[in-house]
Amino acid sequence: MRYDSITDAIGNTPLVRIDPAVHGLRNIDLYAKLELLNPFGSVKDRAAWNMARPHLSAAAEGSGQVVELSSGNTAKALAVLAGMHGLTFKSVTNRMRIPEIKDLLLLLGAEIEELPGQSECLDPTATDDPLTLFHRTLSEPDSTYLHTDQYFNPRNTEAHFTGTGPEIVKDLDGRAPNWFIACVGTAGSSTGVARALREHDPAVRVAGLVAAKSDFIPGIRTIDEAHEVGLFDPGTYDSIETVSADEAIEGMLTLNRRCGILAGPTGGAAYFGAVRQLRAVDEELAGEGSSDRQSAVFIVCDRVESYLSYVRQRRPDLFGRPRRRNSPADLSDAEIRTAPAIGVTDAQAWIATGEPLVVDLRSPYAYAALHIDGSVNIVEELFEELLHGGLPFSRNRPVLLACPVGEKSARYAALLTRMGHPDVRSLTGGIIAWRDAGAPLVRD
């Protein structure tokens, strides 16, 4: 496959059959449309390209900027497309809650503007919310913005009506599937594909999936939020069901681990919603004893890699690593309580005569601001890491450990003692007690 431009690689994504051993449906073939294999990583590449393409060269004449309200994938595609055409891109949103995506966008040269949180002392009569102000600047007469307007732009839907939908029909040997299941974000992909499939076969049943209201699944909307989307028409869907974040992650893990499809949470939500919906249908088909097989297609919007922190927050168990040696977590309360310690006055005397190595466990910023003269700074995380490998200093050198209030240093004093250090002590009350006693702190 040889292309002149990366944009030629948008679309024509594979339709992959999910192993029946995984989903357990006996009379339905379930297929995943792998939009994650688009060049910029998601289903949004199609819409972004279709919306921006007619205007890019004109915009490039002036010093235009592409702007969109996007929390992720559309922004990613638009940032690349803008850059390829010598334009800048700005995303305005209050939904960008995935740090990896934010960083990736910055890396791609995007400018991100976040909408502020709601006022705590609300003025319910205020009409100028930041979004209204944003739209006002866009419509100023001499504005040079190219606003792709994904939630209202029919070219978003069209990209899927002419691309994604027909591709599915082609790969199913000219037949539309019996079922089509998709998550609703801008509603562009679900609406466009549904329309194309129904043109082939009006009997296609379309299921829309939204996030449960108290949940957050990046990229898809709750039912209330869907009503804010110009492309959203409830009539498109035979049913609209909700999926929880937990269910989305569950579905994602199945696709990742058992199908080799590195889908993100919305792909997982679509898989989970599809199987849930189809299970009842499958049983009916079995009951009827019909020999006709049905088929179903769901969309895998994007890839898992960007969502690691999202998943870690909700399912820390998935990231559990084996316990390490010499960890402060292994200490008993009694060991910590009886850890060798020394008060400020005695510590001052000890420093003057015994020359202990003074280790300050605080962050480098705090250490740089003020510290005990002559101390070394080994930030706690690093210190813990060092100890996994064994004692980091000689047994012959006494050690004084210091932290803000003497709590963490007590743990490490206990741990070092257990590891065989004969003369380690924790500064009682920490640097705060040191300061409060009027003992000198320096910045050097």
Partner 1 sequence: MGGQPLYLEPRLEPRLRSLLDAPALLHTLTDALGSPLNMVVPDQLADNLQQFRSVYGTHHLSGQVYFAHKANRSSALLRRLAATDAGVDVASLAELQHALGAGLTPDRIAATGPKNPEFLWLAARTSVTVSLDTRGELEQLATLVRKHALPRVRILLRLSGFEASGVRVLSRRSRFGTAVGESGPLLEDVERHADVVDLVGVAYHLDTTSLTEKATALEGCLRVLEECRSRGLRPRAVDIGGGFGVNYLAHGGQWEQYTTGLTEAVLGSRPPLTYGGHGYGLRNEAGTLRGTLGLYPAHRPVAGARYLDELLSHPAASLGGRPLAALLLEHLYDLHTEPGRALLDQCGLTLTKVLEVRGQESGGPLLVRLAAKADDVALEEHGVLMDPVVVPRHPPGTGADVGAGPDAGAEPVAVHLFGSLCLESDLITRRTVFLPRRPEPGDLLAFANTAGYCMDFHATRAQHQPSARKVAAWQEGDTWRWCLDDQYWPTTPVGGAQ
Ligand X SMILES: Cc1ncc(COP(=O)(O)O)c(C=O)c1O
In angstroms, give the least distance from the CB of 214 to ligand X. Answer: 24
In angstroms, give the least distance from the CB of 223 to partner 1. Answer: 7
CB closer to partner 1 out of 134 and 393: 134
**Site map 79..118 versus partner 1, x via CB under 8 A:** -------------x---------xx--x----xxxxxxxx
Q: Which of 353, 359, 328, 333 is nearest to 427 (CA)?
A: 359
Among 31, 232, 237, 298, binds partner 1 (CB under 8 A): 232
Residue 214: strand, helix, or coil: coil
Candidates 23-31, 256-264, 363-371, 412-420: pick the segment binding partner 1 (CB under 8 A).
Answer: 363-371
C-alpha span between 385 and 30 (Å, rounded): 47
CB closer to ligand X out of 107 and 121: 121
Q: Which amino acid is at 78?
A: L
In angstroms, give the least distance from the CB of 198 to partner 1. Answer: 20
Among 213, 258, 337, 397, binds partner 1 (CB under 8 A): 213
Contacting ligand X within 90-129 (CB under 6 A) = 120-121
Q: Which amino acid is at 182?
A: A
Q: What is the DSSP string of 153-181?
A: -HHHHHHIIIIIHHHHHHHTTT---SEEE
Q: Which of 39, 45, 85, 35 is nearest to 65 (CA)?
A: 85
CB closer to partner 1 out of 221 and 303: 221
| Beta-carbon-side half-sphere exposure of residue 223 (alpha carbons within 13 Å) | 12
What residues does 91 pair with on adjacent strands?
68, 112
Is residue 203 a contact point for ligand X (CB under 6 A)?
Answer: no
What residues does 305 pair with on adjacent strands?
none
In angstroms, give the least distance from the CB of 94 to ligand X. Answer: 20
Is residue 202 a contact point for partner 1 (CB under 8 A)?
Answer: no
Q: Judged by CB under 8 A, how many residues of this single chain contact partner 1?
A: 53
The values of phi and psi at residue 423, to 5°, are -145, 75
Candidates 203-211, 253-261, 339-347, 397-405: pick the segment binding partner 1 (CB under 8 A).
Answer: 397-405
C-alpha span between 326 and 173 (Å, rounded): 61
Residue nearest to ligand X (CB): 120
Number of residues assigned to the chain = 444
**What is the pairing mode between strands 179-183 and 205-211?**
parallel
CA of 424: how far to CAs of 79, 321, 334, 414, in Å? 55, 30, 17, 9
Residues forming the site for partner 1 (CB under 8 A): 92, 102-103, 106, 111-122, 124-127, 129-132, 134, 152, 213-214, 223-224, 227-230, 232-233, 362-367, 369-370, 379, 403-405, 407, 431-432, 435, 443
Footprint of ligand X on this chain (CB under 6 A)? 120-121
